[in-house]
Structure 1
């Protein structure tokens, strides 16, 4: 994860069919992905790690690390079910390289 101006971005590394790239996503981007997958039967998804402002106030580094672990587990669970990004357009959009900053 990277933090700049109080904003945390989680670095996601992608390797699909020999193409390797990375994207940076905020927690809210994961929430949008999760809402796009809500109501579909495939791929199944895990629960996202929560927003806990109480815990965050006491130990920000630990909170970010735990959230990063949970988001990684969430994405691995999705990617284990998808043989190609073409089969899941919401995940494909989420993992597409960002244009601009």
Structure 2
């Protein structure tokens, strides 16, 4: 699956909504919007897309099907990428991510 493809990202986000929880989906959505922002430099996009690739791939270090800990590795990868690229996270991208997650969980 291609994490730069909107269909792949939103399909995965919707598929894991209830199982992964709002925190994981919000981190993935923040990473998605920051990576899609034209102002985000290529090296930052590479980190974000790396974490998003890990999120959308069906194979993980910790299988997603495991209760409680299944998405902990995804959350760690996404959080680390967002921390490393926090310079390019704008209030606008945060607002977009939060609004999208509210719509998904709505």
- After TM superposition, the score normalised by the length of structure 1 is 0.48
Return the structure number with greater helix share. 2
- Greater relative contact order (CA < 8 Å, ≥ 6 in sequence): 2
Return the structure number with greater strand share. 1
For the pair shown, the structure with the greater C-alpha radius of gyration is: 1
